[in-house]
Amino acid sequence: MRSLKILILEPNPFQLMALHQMLNAIGIYDVLTAPSLGSAKRSLERRGAVDITLCNPRLQNGDGLALIRHLADRKGARAMILLGTVAPSLLDELETLLGEHGITLLGRLHTPVSAVLIRSLLDTYMATPRHSVDA
């Protein structure tokens, strides 16, 4: 798989490790991991924009939504995969926000995350002409 840079915002250490290992197992090694909004912002400042962000918009203290807004305002990601259950009204709001800022919503994954489903979403991203150029 083409080299992708992915950011995972996940406060649960076990889930964060599982997602990171899952991405490594399918050939993605440039993975930024963040257990909090602050660490996600620091990673983005140090390493620059990412191709895809994985996060739960309903994280405690609003961290998920804050990261999504941060990424949208700063063009910090090209695409996003939402983790967890998202209420339809929130999903509509997020789709509008992401669309206005040119961020592709690849899909939603429920935990436990399936490697097959995450690979399918990544393949969809890679098949999009704007993202298919090798790095």
Tens digit of pLDDT for each residue in 66-119? Answer: 999 999 999 999 999 999 988 888 899 999 999 999 999 999 998 889 999 999
CA distance 121 to 74: 23
Per the rule left: phi > 0, alpha: psi between -120 and 50, beta: everything else, 75 is left
Mean residue pLDDT across the chain = 91
| Stated pTM of the model | 0.91
Mean pLDDT of 7-19: 94
* Mean pLDDT computed over 106-133: 86
Q: How confident is the model at residue 131 (pLDDT cuts 50, 70, 90)?
A: low
What residue ranges define each of the domains in the chain, with the CATH number in brackets?
5-131 (3.40.50.2300)
Q: Are 61 and 48 in contact (CB under 8 A)?
A: no
